[in-house]
Chains A and B, each alone.
Chain A
């Protein structure tokens, strides 16, 4: 069993006894079989000494118990690692950043405190999952729509604090951006409420985010400055209808104009998250069709060669699916306006009308709806798709570590990112995965993500290769002045180190806060590179 750093077995036993006095014996987990539940199923260090593992786990029932846990942790200098549902796989899951930490599993704090269908917000505790909130809303017929990640088994609080994202309109799919008001237990065990929550008796905690004075909410995301025990979220009023339309453009070089038009629609709040595709790529997977593979055999093709390839394949170079939300009159008008704009600016643009769906969907329709996350329905099908898809390679991995790099919303930037990733794979002696038809993801509306997926295994030799690749990718994209928006604990320090303006002044500022707010370093030490002074020598 792992022990907390600088803690003897006797001290740890004393601490566990004090924790048990607070939460009850049934909610202290310290046996090997119980602690094993908190291993990260996708760990890139699985079974190696560097794998991040917990020493124990606790499941408090309420905020008062969280306060007492924090005070005991301070007394024994034992690091805590709070999780809400602990299912942010590829980003660490339920395992702590620092081995030997005690996981504070907030699963029992699972109350949906309020959903207001007239003022369009929810107030929840950390153990509430998207499924729970969705079922609460649909069972009561409330006229609001969730924005959910895919898969949807995480919690709104955990996902937003990790800067997670969804699929609907821009203001809602940025999950941290759509939060309004938090309750936090500080590392000293005090409760604070942010924004209007600090105003005793305020009825607008979930309506006005800033209160008065500095806004501190951002300090509690991707960080270690407190344990969030309640959080409010703005919800989208349930749209009357959902409509999709797909645009295709014929030439490789049409991508730039396509992006500009889509960005106009997105920034005008006329569409939800656009989904770019490339019919000529021939596959939703990164590598593309065999024809694309042959195209790439002689290195990165010139633009002329790409245009020749597209013509020869007799398929559109690019596509984008546009989702519209609202009354039928407005979604049909918005789609008509979009078609007019594309047709005027991109010769050869073609259009395919999608079906109009009235919301809420009847239960039987909802269960088989192909675009569940686009209409706020949480799902787990993504796991089945991975397991059953015949296009996955012949040596499927045990998990994966996703690398998402942010680039400007420009065709040239997407192409350059794809090329940097392709070169990095080649440099590491790996088969090409990226090609000029890679399409961006538009989770955050104002910039693009270009993604790659690095496999993780139960095999340490393969994991070593994956780690080398992942680390090299971080370095290579940083050479181009790009970063990532979240990553697994194994790479958080390296990713943060690239945000190095003025001799890493941002991280140094965060460390000053850490030393002041959490002098014993008990909350999630090392998370996103923020170590307390006493552990700063652990930095790689």
Chain B
């Protein structure tokens, strides 16, 4: 849903499940060195961790992130971090597949470049799955 919605909005997308390095070193970094456009994702936290570390090469930061936290009983809670406008905009997305669409709408509207908040930076490292955290939506700008 996330990629589909962004596709409708004319945003270039890429499936990075298996190869973050190829996307970064062979495409994204080169583009970002020329023009620092925001890039966003709906990934696991390990992928975000890698992108955040790599983005230092081009001076870009995580501006906001929406972590899906699985609670007891399978309930999903969304933890929103970053600049206030994005945090407000991200409140209350659905907990089913509409989450991907909601996040796509959010990241295409809030590019984060005006933010000076450090709240979303380096919030965490890679996690295993048993801590109850699943996907995270994010914007690096």
Residues of A near any B CB (own CB < 8 A): 29, 31-34, 36-39, 41-42, 85-87, 89, 94, 107, 129, 131-132, 135, 152-153, 367-368, 378-380, 383-384, 386-390, 392-399, 456, 458
Contact = CB atoms under 8 A, between A and B. Distances in A.
A33 B118 contact: yes
Given A31-B116, A380-B21, A458-B124, A135 B26 contact: yes
Interface string B116-136: 111001111111111100000
A387 B21 contact: no
A388 B129 contact: yes
B47 A34 contact: no
A86 B56 contact: yes
Contacts of B50: 153, 380, 383
A80 to B, nearest CB: 18
12 contacts: A37-B59, A86-B56, A152-B21, A380-B21, A387-B45, A387-B129, A392-B128, A393-B130, A396-B126, A399-B125, A456-B125, A458-B124
Closest 4 CB pairs of A and B: A392-B128, A387-B46, A396-B128, A398-B125
B71 interface: no
B25 interface: yes
Interface residues of B, number: 33
A58 to B, nearest CB: 12
B113 to A, nearest CB: 12
B79 interface: no
B19 interface: yes
A32 B119 CA distance: 11
A41 B56 contact: no
B61 interface: yes
Given A32-B116, A86-B56, 15 more contacts: A32-B118, A33-B61, A41-B122, A85-B57, A94-B56, A131-B21, A152-B21, A367-B18, A367-B19, A368-B18, A387-B127, A387-B128, A390-B129, A398-B125, A456-B125
Interface in B32-62: 44-47, 49-50, 53-54, 56-57, 59, 61
Nearest to B133: A396
Contacts of A94: 56
B25 A131 contact: yes
Contacts of B61: 33, 36-37
Contacts of A398: 124-125, 127
Contacts of B47: 383-384
Nearest to A388: B129
Contacts of B128: 386-390, 392-393, 396
Nearest to B117: A33
Given A129-B25, A396-B127, A396-B130, A36 B121 contact: yes
Contacts of A135: 25-26
Contact of A395 (B116, B121, B126, B131): B131
A386 B54 CA distance: 18
A41 B25 contact: no
B131 A388 contact: no
Nearest to B19: A367
Interface of B: 18-22, 25-26, 44-47, 49-50, 53-54, 56-57, 59, 61, 116-118, 121-131
A28 B21 CA distance: 27
Contacts of A389: 128
Given A384-B47, A393-B130, A395-B131, A36 B125 contact: no
A397 B127 CA distance: 7
B110 to A, nearest CB: 17
Contacts of A395: 131
Contacts of B127: 387, 396, 398
A37 B56 contact: yes
A94 B122 CA distance: 13
Contact of B53 (A31, A107, A153): A153
Nearest to A394: B130
Among B45, B117, B124, B125, find the residue whose CB has the most chain A CB atoms closer than 10 A.
Answer: B125
Nearest to A94: B56
A34 B59 contact: yes
B46 A383 contact: yes
B21 A379 contact: yes
Among A378, A383, A395, find the residue whose CB has the most chain B CB atoms closer than 10 A.
Answer: A383
B140 to A, nearest CB: 11
B116 A33 contact: yes
A478 to B, nearest CB: 29
A29 B49 CA distance: 22
A367 B22 contact: yes
Contacts of B46: 383-384, 386-388
Contacts of B56: 37-38, 86, 94, 107
Contacts of A33: 61, 116-118, 121
Nearest to A43: B122
Nearest to A132: B25
Given A132-B25, A153-B21, A387-B45, A42 B125 contact: yes
B20 A380 contact: yes
A122 B121 CA distance: 36
A392 B130 contact: yes
Among B21, B47, B118, find the residue whose CB has the most chain A CB atoms closer than 10 A.
Answer: B21
B16 to A, nearest CB: 10
A458 B124 CA distance: 7
A179 B54 CA distance: 26
Nearest to A85: B57
Contacts of A384: 44, 46-47, 126
Nearest to B124: A398
A39 B19 contact: no
B44 A388 contact: yes
Contact of B49 (A368, A379, A383): A383
Contacts of A87: 53
B44 A387 contact: yes
A41 B122 CA distance: 6
Given A132-B25, A153-B53, A383-B49, A36 B129 contact: no
Contacts of A367: 18-19, 22
